[in-house]
């Protein structure tokens, strides 16, 4: 069992990473149903919360079936982060996570997200301000450092633990790398195996198969894994990893019926939470990923991204299920989506 303060998670828990414009309640729901042990919201601007910005407040929506669930905030000002933490606490999540990892310019170059990696004392002050302002367990998500010359995660981990965080998730790249190259888990392993560290350490970056998850678990000794891009359009990654950890066997890929069923559930929840117009429009980005691997799918996909009535979309999904009934998907490594602009942390 892994514990984050009073939150009990199973051995080697699988966490859904916070991803802007992806990790909303409809997407979190399908990941939870397929084995995710801990969920996180999209990241939320502390300044937006304080200004009562509609989009930021909307991201505070959490539901009982999601638990345990954490709300993630970002910002570069101590007072603003502390005030945002108090606002978050009212919504009663299981924990509060601070984003020190988002690498996109509009966040990092304004002194928030991964931008804070250039100033470790500031990172410590920001974290301490949040810890002191809330009764929620506080965790942090960050990266190895700003660039190759400043991989300071070992120092960061100790100092953030010292000011009271209850867990740390580490993405195995620097801010300068964005999502290019290969995630380096070596320093993640060093943090986990540091005798001074007693909080859970979760690794993140490039986990795209059950085999890799188990390999990294054994090699680096992390307490669990956070999965982001590999879950987009493939929430089954969680159940596949769990099954492989427990049995050493690979599950067969989800059938066309399973894929369509999840698509329909995702769409239904999207309509319920966002309304018919936004729900349909924002669901369009997911169809390609859910239906990846189907031959000659272009005509159906075009219908899915142009139709405006829920009933018509559901009908097309039914047609896809019937047309491809019996189709056998090839088990293959999951393609990690090039998602730099959307800032999955």
State both tokens at 313: 């979309």
pLDDT recorded at residue 109: 46
Question: Where residue 266 sits, what CATH number does that domain have?
Answer: 1.10.1200
Whether residues 74 and 192 share a domain: the answer is yes
What Rg, from alpha-carbon coordinates, does the chain have?
Answer: 20
Whether residue 196 is contained in a domain is answered as yes
Is the pLDDT score of 107 beyond 80?
no
Can you give the residue range of the structural domain that contains 48? 2-250
Q: What is the mean pLDDT of residues 327-334?
A: 71
In a shared domain, residues 241 and 290: no
Q: Which residues contact 196 (CB under 8 A, 6 or more apart)?
A: 158, 161
At residue 40, the pLDDT reads 95
Give the mean pLDDT of 95-101.
89
**Model confidence over 35-69: pLDDT tens digits?**
999 999 988 888 878 887 666 677 888 999 999 99
- Looking at the structure, tell me whether residues 245 and 265 fall in a common domain: no
Tell me how many domains the chain contains: 2
Based on the fold, state whether residues 105 and 207 are members of the same structural domain: yes
- pLDDT confidence of 340, banded at 50, 70, 90? very low
Q: What are the tokens at 223?
A: 């307490």
Give me the chain's average pLDDT, please.
Answer: 88
Residues 191 and 236 in one domain: yes
State mean pLDDT over 7-12.
96
Q: Which of 31, 102, 263, 343 is catalytic?
A: 102
Residue 180: is its pLDDT beyond 70? yes
If asked whether residues 180 and 308 sit together in one domain, one would say no
- For 186-223, write each residue's pLDDT tens digit: 999 999 999 999 999 999 998 989 999 999 999 999 99
263 is catalytic: no
Q: Which has more confidence, 118 or 343?
A: 118
Mean pLDDT along residues 73-88: 88
pLDDT at 102 > cutoff 80: no
* b/e sequence 149-172, b meaning 16+ C-beta within 10 Å: eebbbbebbebbbebebbbbbbbb
CA distance 101 to 122: 14
Confidence of residue 95 (pLDDT cuts 50, 70, 90): very high
From 234, 250, 266, the end of a domain falls on: 250
Kindly state the average pLDDT of the residues 312-329: 93
Over residues 274-292, the mean pLDDT reads 89
Q: Is the pLDDT of residue 152 over 70?
A: yes
CATH number at residue 114: 3.20.20.70
Sign of the dihedral defined by the CA atoms of residues 235, 237, 240, 241, in that order? negative
């Amino acid at each position: 069992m892994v514990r984050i303060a009073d939150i009990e998670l199973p051995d080697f828990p699988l966490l859904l990473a916070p991803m802007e414009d992806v990790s909303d309640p409809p997407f979190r729901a399908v990941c939870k149903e397929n084995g995710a042990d801990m969920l996180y919201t999209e990241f939320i601007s502390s300044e937006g919360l304080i200004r009562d910005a509609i989009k930021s407040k909307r991201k505070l929506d959490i539901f009982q079936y999601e638990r345990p669930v954490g709300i993630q905030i970002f910002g570069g000002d101590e007072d603003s982060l502390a005030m945002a933490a108090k606002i978050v606490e009212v919504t009663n999540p299981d924990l509060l996570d601070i984003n020190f990892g988002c690498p996109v310019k509009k966040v990092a170059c304004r002194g928030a997200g991964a931008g804070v990696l250039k100033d470790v004392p500031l990172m410590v002050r920001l974290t301490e301000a949040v810890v002191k302002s809330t009764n929620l367990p506080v965790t942090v998500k960050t990266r190895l450092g700003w660039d190759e010359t400043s991989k300071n995660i070992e120092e960061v981990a100790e100092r953030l633990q010292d000011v009271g965080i209850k867990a740390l998730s580490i993405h195995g790249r620097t801010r300068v790398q964005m999502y290019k190259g290969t995630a380096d888990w070596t320093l993640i392993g060093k943090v986990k195996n540091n005798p001074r560290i007693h909080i859970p350490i979760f690794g993140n970056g490039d986990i795209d198969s059950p085999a890799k998850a188990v390999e990294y678990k054994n090699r680096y000794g992390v307490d669990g894994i956070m999965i982001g891009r590999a879950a987009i359009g493939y929430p089954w990654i969680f159940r596949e990893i769990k099954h492989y950890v427990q049995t050493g066997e690979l599950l067969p890929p989800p059938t066309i019926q399973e894929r369509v069923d999840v698509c329909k559930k995702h769409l239904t929840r999207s309509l319920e939470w966002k309304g018919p117009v936004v729900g349909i429009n924002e669901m369009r980005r997911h169809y390609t990923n859910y239906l990846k691997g189907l031959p000659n799918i272009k005509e159906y996909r075009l219908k899915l991204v142009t139709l405006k009535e829920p009933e018509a979309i559901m009908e097309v999904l039914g047609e896809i299920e019937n047309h491809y009934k019996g189709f056998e998907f090839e088990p293959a490594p999951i393609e990690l989506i090039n998602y730099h602009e959307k800032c999955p942390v």
